[in-house]
Amino acid sequence: MVKIRVPISEHRDASYDIRIGRGLLAELPELVRAACPAARYAVITDSHIGKLYGEQVVTRLHDATLPAELFEFPAGEWNKTRETWAALSDRMLARQFGRDCAVLALGGGVVGDVAGFVAATYLRGVPYVQVPTSLLAMIDSAIGGKTGVDVPAGKNLLGAFHQPRLVIADLDVLTSLPAVQVAAGVAEAVKHGVIADADYVAFLERECRAVQAKDAGALEHVVSRSVEIKAEVVAADEREAGRRATLNFGHTVGHAVEATAKFAVLHGEAIAIGMACEARLAEALEIAERGTADRIRGVLEGYGLPLALPEPAAVDDLIAAMQLDKKARAGTVRFALPRAIGAMHRDGKTGWTVAAPEALVRQVLAGSPGKQ
């Protein structure tokens, strides 16, 4: 088992471990008892994972004398809403869960974000444990303490920072993860490589077949290397103001694609498209070395990820979606861009992100990489 610690320096008690290994669900009760003791556990999951692992987890907790109840909601990004958050909270209140309870988020990024937000707000906040089951959740969404829901105005616009007490990534659960979801997770892994580690990008290129075949060693390397990078960037954010913004590479365009595609595109697919576009933008702005965009496109393509905007996507709609995001952030549309594979651009004046002229963004989107 690999153990990686996420240090939270402003509040040392808030630091937590990420456990990565095989067969960890069997050890879950003891890990949870040690890191997140509670009188009762609300195991929150979605309808897919509930069937696969929900009962198993609740039974294991019971067998270890830890009282637990399962709370399921229908799977799908379109259910990452205030309504789901409210329904789960109401059901926990009806079952009289008290301040001495804790939440277990068992599932992909959607479950992690909603269940984390329930934990952040339930009776003004109760502790929680992330048990990510998708590759994307293991390497990205379960770490960093961002929780929340989507609203009609945009993705993740309501939420809270709430750090988990522990993250348990059992690699065995990836055996049931559909291939398209594995690829969607790899998109975030490519992002981690581009922002911090050229060798890791080379690994993802070289071991494409092994990762796609869910080879145990390959997946373990992907999960641990990505977790290390994300944990490092999140921790470094406090020292190098704003470095966390580099994790947004591919997400300015990606979120706009998600918003306009109305859930027809997975999050990981949308950010693959986003990275392909933003890497082009970085070259157009002469921020990135030539060839950077082609290399990024190549690795994403190898995993069967889309690079072109989804068919009816109109440039005007995408720009409007980015502007909406901008209003939410009370600033201009900004991009976190690579200067090379493994290194992000940083400017003494503007920090880790740059504003790009709208005309240039339009040009890059209109010449959507896949159309060439």
Ligand X SMILES: NC(=O)c1ccc[n+]([C@@H]2O[C@H](COP(=O)([O-])OP(=O)(O)OC[C@H]3O[C@@H](n4cnc5c(N)ncnc54)[C@H](O)[C@@H]3O)[C@@H](O)[C@H]2O)c1
Q: Taking CB under 6 A as the criterion, which residues in 83-122 touch ligand X?
A: 107-111, 113
Q: CB-wise, 49 or 273, nearer to ligand X?
A: 49
Contact between 244 and ligand X by CB under 6 A: the answer reads no
Choice among 244, 295, 334, 345 that is catalytic: 244
Choice among 155, 228, 248, 297 that is catalytic: 248
Q: How far is the CB of 134 from ligand X (least distance, A)?
A: 3
Among 84, 89, 130, 141, binds ligand X (CB under 6 A): 141
CA angle 280, 197, 202 (to 5 degrees): 80
Site string for ligand X, 38-77 (x = CB under 6 A): --------x-xx--x----------------------x-x
The number of residues that bind ligand X (CB under 6 A) is 31
Q: CB-wise, 36 or 111, nearer to ligand X?
A: 111
- 206 catalytic residue (yes or no): no
SS3 60: helix
Contact between 32 and ligand X by CB under 6 A: the answer reads no
Contact between 177 and ligand X by CB under 6 A: the answer reads yes
Q: Quickly list H helices, the chain.
A: 24-35, 47-49, 55-63, 82-94, 109-121, 135-136, 179-196, 198-206, 208-212, 216-236, 251-261, 267-284, 292-302, 315-329, 358-366
Nearest to 39 by CA among 96, 111, 114: 96
Strands (E), 61-179: 68-73, 101-107, 128-132, 146-151, 154-161, 166-170
Are 143 and 231 spatial neighbours (Cβ–Cβ below 8 Å)?
Answer: yes
User: In this structure, are strands 154-161 and 146-151 parallel, antiparallel, or unpaired?
Assistant: antiparallel
Among 184, 187, 261, 279, binds ligand X (CB under 6 A): 184
Dihedral angle over CA of 293, 242, 198, 203, nearest 10? -100
The encoded tokens of residue 143 equal 């770490």
- 156 catalytic residue (yes or no): no
- 207 catalytic residue (yes or no): no
Contact between 270 and ligand X by CB under 6 A: the answer reads no
User: In this structure, are strands 166-170 and 16-21 parallel, antiparallel, or unpaired?
Assistant: parallel
Kindly list the residues in this chain that would bind ligand X in the complex (CB under 6 A).
46, 48-49, 52, 75, 77, 80, 107-111, 113, 133-134, 136-137, 140-141, 144, 146, 155-156, 173-174, 176-177, 181, 184, 267-268
Q: Which residues are known to be catalytic?
A: 124, 146, 188, 230, 240, 244, 248, 251, 255, 267
